[in-house]
Amino acid sequence: MDNKNNTISSITYDLIKKDIIFGKLKPSSKLKLDNLKNNYKASLSTIRETLNRLASEGFVQAEEQRGFFVNSFSKNDLIEISNLRVLLECHAIKLSIDRGDTNWEGNLVASHHKLHLLEKEMQKNYKNNREEWKKYDWEFHLALVSNCGSNNLLNLHSILYDKSIRYQMAVAEYRGKSAEEEHKKIFESALNRNSKEAAETLQVHILNGLEHTLKIFNN
């Protein structure tokens, strides 16, 4: 029974988090427990547990007497998330490359290949491929740092990545060729075991993504 409950909790968490990231649950919107219970087919205790977990990760805000709300968008928050990604991800990629073995290399090659193929499609049809792109982009960024040897670093990286992507999903257009070329350069540097160049290009990639995503605050 415990395993079943854990599975339901995990599925509910993934679904609500996904709907926050892709904007189905809008920034600043109130999360009504009864509505969530019906929409996600979960018990009230599971919904509360999920929202408290998302609040601890910074996707949801818990306000005393008022309930739960989706975290609002903030320019300063986006800039801080991007700067933290630079610090953590660039450190992790250096560790990962230095420790890299054939299994890590094989995983990296496979993840970049899938992302590269999808990026060609993204230039034709961004909106219909957003969820698939998020999946493959995440797999590539994870593959880059997966061999860093620190679970704490990987857990923090995962949360920051999802927070960053939530902002990116609010931008109407795909960054396109420049992002594709940055991915290719990071990939080649990592394969060549050039950790300095890989980290430098990754920093440029994250900050270029920040500049692109800041467009949502220009209206």
Q: What would the pLDDT profile of 113-142 be if each residue is shown by its tens digit?
A: 999 999 888 877 767 788 898 999 999 999
Tell whether the model's pLDDT for residue 203 goes beyond 50. Answer: yes
Residue 1 pLDDT: 38
Provide the pLDDT confidence category of residue 217 given band limits of 50, 70 and 90.
confident
CB neighbour class for 25 (10 Å; exposed up to 12, middle 13-18, buried from 19): buried
- Domains for the chain: give ranges and CATH numbers: 2-70 (1.10.10.10), 75-217 (1.20.120.530)
- Angle between helices 195-213 and 75-98 in degrees, nearest 10: 160
% of the chain with per-residue pLDDT over 90: 80
Lowest mean pLDDT among 46-50, 131-135, 162-166, 194-198: 131-135
Any alpha helices (H) in 99-194, and if so which ranges? Answer: 102-122, 130-145, 151-168, 177-191
Asked whether 71 and 170 are in contact (CB, 8 A), the reply is no
Which is higher by pLDDT, 127 or 36? 36
Provide the pLDDT confidence category of residue 99 given band limits of 50, 70 and 90.
very high
Question: Among 202, 198, 182, 184, which Cα is nearest to 100's?
Answer: 198
All residues at 6 or more sequence positions from 112 whose CB lies less than 8 Å from its CB, including other chains = 140, 143, 183, 184, 187
At 72, phi and psi to the nearest 5?
A: -75, 165
Q: Are strands 67-70 and 30-31 parallel, antiparallel or unpaired?
A: antiparallel
Task: Write the pLDDT tens digit of every residue in 13-24.
Answer: 999 999 999 999
